[in-house]
Chain A
Amino acid sequence: MKIEAKNKSSSKIPTASIADIVFLLLIFFMSVTVFKQYQGLRVELPAAKATKKIERKRMITHIWIDAQNHINIDDMMVNLEQVTPILKKKILENPATIVSIRADARSKYGVVARLLEKLKDANALRVNFATLSKG
């Protein structure tokens, strides 16, 4: 009889600390999550071996360029002339803004080059060409 009682007490899994663990996980995910704000355009990004992660996720402004050379900032279809004022406003809010250009691999470089000129005019000098990692 004595032996049986001993066995019973050892077969329990302590669950009291589960809540704490879950809390910790919750806090981690809450702090890490950055909600996707914009849908963007459907693009096929080019691949590159030297691809690097952008560390400051909250400072990124995305600009999409699709294969038909449409430009889209924050889910607004814009033409080239509108790029500078929009970016100027963003730079004023946060001077460390990083512009991530998500251009389709099939788009023309001329559109990207013109966009870069407009970014320069807006003083948005930190630019990132979005790519997929390869290899």
Chain B
Amino acid sequence: MALKIQKKQHYKKEAEIPTSSLADIVFLLLIFFLVTTSMNPDKGLGITLPPPGEQARISKEKVLSIYINAEGKVLIGEEIVPLDQLKDKIKAKLKEKKNNLVKKGVRNPDPIVSLITDVEARYSAMVDVLDKIKLAFEELKKEDPKFKEILSLATPVF
């Protein structure tokens, strides 16, 4: 009898999994992930390219062309626009174009911004202008949620 009882107790003890160190292990893992996680997310200015081979005909009155020359100077139409006035200028021009298109009863009266950059220009000059275009579109969208953002990066001929 005495032997039996001892055996039973022995079995009960063995069936337990030690969990006291679990917290330590989890802590260690936590610290590892805390250290390896980089909290700076990927950021940038997003655009969608047109599919290859697609060359739609667009009437001239829809397009607002913005040029950047090799020195990084920005032209809208014929005039040079300084960078700090660019956003308001683009906004005004887009509004004007949209109004004209609506008045004429054109289908899809959404103006298109075409950004034409000289191949010799610095990349940062192009990003600066793209930034202003994006800001202008954002403000227009706030005023009129139906305003569509259509942007095309023109391809220089190589």
Contact = CB atoms under 8 A, between A and B. Distances in A.
B89 interface: no
Contacts of B117: 109, 113
Interface string B40-83: 01111111111110000000000000001000000000000000
Nearest to A121: B52
A119 B48 CA distance: 11
Contacts of A54: 41-44, 46
Contacts of B121: 108-109
Interface stretch (B3-11, B94-102, B131-139): B131-139
Nearest to B134: A50
Interface residues of B, number: 45
Nearest to A106: B122
A48 B46 contact: no
A98 B47 CA distance: 10
B45 A51 contact: yes
Contact of B43 (A23, A33, A53): A53
B43 A52 contact: yes
A126 B30 contact: no
A64 B134 CA distance: 23
A14 interface: no
A65 B121 CA distance: 15
A35 interface: yes
B29 interface: yes
A91 interface: no
A74 to B, nearest CB: 15
Contact of A48 (B47, B119, B130): B130
B52 A120 contact: yes
A131 interface: yes
Given A50-B138, A52-B45, A110 B156 contact: yes
B140 interface: no
B132 to A, nearest CB: 8
Contact of A29 (B23, B30, B68): B30
Most buried by A among B26, B44, B50, B135: B44
The 3 closest A-B pairs by CB, nearest first: A110-B119, A50-B134, A105-B124
Given A48-B44, A103-B123, A129-B127, 19 more contacts: A22-B30, A23-B26, A29-B33, A29-B34, A32-B37, A48-B130, A52-B43, A57-B41, A57-B42, A100-B44, A106-B124, A108-B123, A119-B49, A120-B49, A120-B50, A125-B48, A125-B50, A128-B45, A130-B43
Interface of A: 18-19, 22-23, 25-26, 29-30, 32-33, 35-36, 46, 48-54, 57, 60, 65, 98, 100-101, 103-114, 116-117, 119-121, 123-133
13 contacts: A22-B23, A26-B33, A29-B30, A30-B29, A50-B131, A52-B45, A54-B41, A109-B68, A113-B153, A113-B155, A116-B155, A125-B48, A125-B51
